[in-house]
Each structure stands twice: as structure tokens, then as C-alpha cells.
Structure 1
């Protein structure tokens, strides 16, 4: 018998397939595992990430929606709210209840009303407006705040490396 979590995730997947949302695509990585999704986010227009494609894995706990999923970028992403290992750090992905560090209100944290769509839209918003007050990547936050030109350069270099990797793979595929 399917769990409440798997039924809800199946419904959210169907809804996203029927009514795609601009700015991202999402789907199962493995058809046999409803609890792990692949997400591709298109960098929001008029931001430093404009035009980039950023891949992530969204992993849902068995007690979803009572607990939040984790989201981890598999594409390299230089951002104050993304840990160096790619894990996303935004309020709505933090467990419900009071923040032990006192940075967030309970109302800003995870709530079972969030959906895959609302989570990804929050991540897109994060790309547009980084929160450098409680960063996951302190170095990126310092650059965002104090050395914006270096921050931009790092994003551009990351995108160029990604483009070079794609071109190399394409060339190898032609041989």
C-alpha cells in the first residue's frame, strides 16, 4: 500500500506535468523512487545567474510533508545560501518549529503546505535575492557584500567551466 507521502508526491508530479511552471523542470530520477527528484532551474532573468541551467536533487523523507525535503545542487553554484557541497540553505527547508539559533521565525520555516513548486520557486527567489545575513557559504556572502565584482567573476567562471565541459563531451561524442 502506498504511503501518504508517496501519494502526495505522485499528485504533485502529475500537477507539474499537467501545468508546467516557468523557470524550472522537475521529475523523477528513477521511476521506481518517488522520493528522489531531479530538478533543473533556469537562472532567473536580470540576475547574475541569468541563462544558466542549474541541476539539483530533491530528496524527500518518508514522513513528507511533515518534514521538509533536502535540496542539493549537482551543478557547481557560487551563492551565499548554498553550501560548498551544493546543499541549499533556505528557511522553508529547515524543520518546523523554533530556530535554535534565533535567526528565523517559526513561520518562516517548513510547513506541510509547501509543495515541490513552492520550494523551487523559493530557490529561484533565493538566486535573485541572496540572504547574506545567515549564509551557508561565508566566503560567497563576503564577496556578495563587499566584492561584488569578484562575486560576479566567480559566477561567470563557473558558467564558462560548465560550457567548456559540455563542449568537451560533445567533441568526444563525435569521435
Structure 2
């Protein structure tokens, strides 16, 4: 029996193939597993990440869309909201409901109406405009604030590396 999450993910994948969205492409890591996607995010123009090709994986839970996927960059990337292992830390991917720490409103967190497209558009906008208030990579956030030239240099290295792959 095919469950709701499988049908929904197949539909979203087909929609993205039919109507590609500028700035990223998406597909499956393995055609037999609808729950693991590989996405390629193209560094947004007029940002430090411009010209980069950043590969990431989206791992969907079986109860998607009730719960959010996890997103992890496979390509090295230096950013305040992406931890050193590549895990993306962004409100839209946080479990639904109220934030026990009081940083985020429930409306900023995961909602079942979100799609792969809305997730990736949020991540692209996060690349352009980091939130250094709640960093996943404290060192990157500190550099972003205190030593922007070093931050820029590290990002430029990541962009160059991503182009070689």
C-alpha cells in the first residue's frame, strides 16, 4: 500500500521536474527510495555564494508532511546557520509547535503546507541573509559579525571547491 507521504513526495518531485525553479534542482539519490532526495543549490546571484554549486540531501520522515525533513549539505559550506557537519538549522525545518526556548513562533516553524520548493527557497534566502542570532556554526557567525573579510575568504574557498566537483 502506498502511503500519503510517498504520494505527496512523488507529486512534488514530478512538479519540480515539470516546472523547475530557478536556483536549485532536485532528484532522488536512489530511484527506489522516495524519502532521500539530492538537491543542488546554485549560489544565489549578488551573494557571497554566487557561482557555487552546493549539493545537499533531504531526508524525509515516513510521517511527512506532519514532520519536516532533515537537510544536510554534502558540499562543504561556511555559513552561520549550517553546522560543521553540513546540517541546516533553519526555523522552517524545526519540529512543529511552540519553541520551548521561545526564539521562534509556531508559525515560523514546520507546517505541513511546506513543500520541497518552499524549503529550498527558504534555504537560498538564508544563504543570502544569515541569521546570526541563533547560529548552528558559532565560529562562522562570530566571523560574519567580527571579521567579515575572513568570513568572505572562507566562503570564497567553498565556492571554488564546489565548482571543481
Q: What's the CA shift string for 1:69-96, capped at 9, x where partnerless?
A: 0000000000000010000000000000
> How far 1:162 sits from its partner (Å)?
4.2
Structure 2 CA distance, aligned partners of 1:90 and 1:58? 13
Deviation larger for 148-157 or 39-48: 148-157
Structure 1 CA distance, aligned partners of 2:161 and 2:7? 40
Give the secondary-structure state (helix, strand or coil) at the position aligned to 1:11: helix
Alignment correspondent of 1:105: 105
Deviation larger for 152-161 or 62-71: 152-161
Alignment correspondent of 2:74: 74
- The aligned length equals 165
Structure 2 CA distance, aligned partners of 1:23 and 1:57? 16
Spell out structure 1 runs of 4+ moving beyond 6 A: none
Q: Per chain length, whose mean CA-contact separation is higher, i.e. which structure has more relative contact order (CA < 8 Å, sep 6+)? A: 2
Structure 1 CA distance, aligned partners of 2:38 and 2:150? 30
Give the secondary-structure state (helix, strand or coil) at the position aligned to 1:54: strand
Structure 1 CA distance, aligned partners of 2:14 and 2:128? 28
2:53/2:159 contact within 8 Å kept: no
Give the secondary-structure state (helix, strand or coil) at the position aligned to 1:125: helix
Alignment correspondent of 2:4: 4
Q: What's the CA shift string for 1:114-166, capped at 9, x where partnerless?
A: 00000000000000000000000000000111111010011112233445x54
2:143/2:150 contact within 8 Å kept: yes
TM score, norm. by length of structure 1: 0.92
Alignment correspondent of 1:171: none
Alignment correspondent of 1:61: 61
1:14-163 equivalence runs, <5 A: 14-163=14-163
2:94/2:110 contact within 8 Å kept: yes
User: Structure 1: which 5+ runs fail to align?
Assistant: 167-175
